[in-house]
Amino acid sequence: MLKNRKIEMQITSYLAGECSPAEQQVIAGLIHTDSDYSEVYAALKPIWDNPVFQPVSENYNVDNAWLNVSKHISDNPLSVVPHSRFRKSGTIRLLKYAASIAAVLMVAFTVFQLSHENKAVMKSFASGSAVSSPVALSDGSHIVLNAGSEVKYREKFGSDGREVYFWGEAFFEIASDPTRPFVIETGDARIKVLGTSFNVKAYPNTGITEVVVNTGTVLFYHVDNNNNILGQVVLQKGDKGIYDRISRKLAKMRNNNPNFISWKTGILVFDQTSLDKVMEVVGEKYGVTFHIKDSELSRLKLTATFDNESLDSVIEVLSLVHKLQFTHNGKDYLVKK
């Protein structure tokens, strides 16, 4: 250990140009002939020449680098030198040596920080055939997914922003953070918020992305291949935004559907609603399709509230109120008088 310390001090003096010409020749010869000298020189020379942060390799093992630095420090503890032994040149060499160790520590720490910041761990969650339980994000936000939906997000959001990637239908409750906007990407459509709640519907096979705001304010926009904004609308509570991914047209309107999150709440509300619209909403909620045999039935109206009722219970009410008959084959229902 003492031998290595002596070699490190000699090479530090050599690199600092503090050796006499004769000492420089001796140390240069040892570097080329003595493996101990060559190993220490190879370790200190890059740090001495370039005491700056190096680009992080994708394959750089941060944990191993940190263990090596820690081991070097523990194996080579600093010794107390009596005051009488200090000389100016020795002090300079010690400072240079300390600077080289500090540079190693700074590089290792920077590599550790950059690798953890840039290599964000992505998580994916799919709801399958049922409504999901709330998915909690690291910033305190929550997402509830309807059936057949998927979301991808960082396990831990960085300091630059909060982004998720999404397809399907979900209700988002976003924690407020003015310094980090929350952005949902679904194809070329984007929803950007600071803190609010809203419903997003963007199943790939429909070609439509729909946003309904429950609380707060939302920026709804679409982009080109270079992420340049092509069109945008600001949505507030009660607004609905619709983006057609085929025609690339964006529209804003008031939401007149009280059942836009019935898939999440389980509550269906109808107020003098036409039967064909009732069948559409009930069918979407329970994943079935209704076929009305007589077009005259569409004129019938319904005023009712269903609070987490089963499909059979809803059909039973409709049968009693309007004297209707329902026959079904799998998920297809025929409705007639």
Could you list the pLDDT tens digit for every one of the 337 residues in the chain?
A: 445 677 877 877 787 776 776 677 678 878 877 788 888 888 877 766 665 443 434 444 545 554 554 555 455 554 544 444 444 455 455 455 555 555 554 544 544 454 444 456 889 999 988 899 999 999 999 999 999 999 999 999 988 889 999 999 999 999 999 889 999 999 999 999 988 999 999 999 999 999 999 999 999 999 998 889 999 999 999 999 999 999 999 999 999 999 999 999 999 999 999 999 999 999 999 989 999 888 888 889 999 999 999 999 999 999 999 889 999 898 999 998 8
State in words which class domain 122-254 has: mainly beta
Give the pair of three-digit tokens for residue 331: 């998920």
Give dist(CA 247, CA 190) in Å, integer.
16
Q: How many CB atoms lie within 10 A of CB 29?
A: 11
* DSSP calls for 259-317: TTTHHHH-EEEEEEEEHHHHHHHHHHHHT-EEEES-GGGGG-EEEEEEES--HHHHHHH
Burial label for 272, CB within 10 Å (0-12, 13-18, 19+), is exposed
Helix 311-322 and helix 275-286, axial crossing angle in degrees, nearest 10: 170
Q: State the sign of the Cα–Cα–Cα–Cα dihedral 67, 8, 103, 99.
A: positive
Give the pair of three-digit tokens for residue 227: 């992420």
Asked if 122-254 and 266-336 have one fold, the answer is: no
Q: Where are the domains of the chain?
A: 2-118, 122-254, 266-336
Give dist(CA 237, CA 228) in Å, integer.
26
Which residue in the block uniquely carries the two structure tokens 């988002």? 172
Give dist(CA 134, CA 288) in Å, integer.
25
Architecture of the CATH domain 266-336: 3-Layer(bab) Sandwich (3.55)
Three-state DSSP state, 171: strand
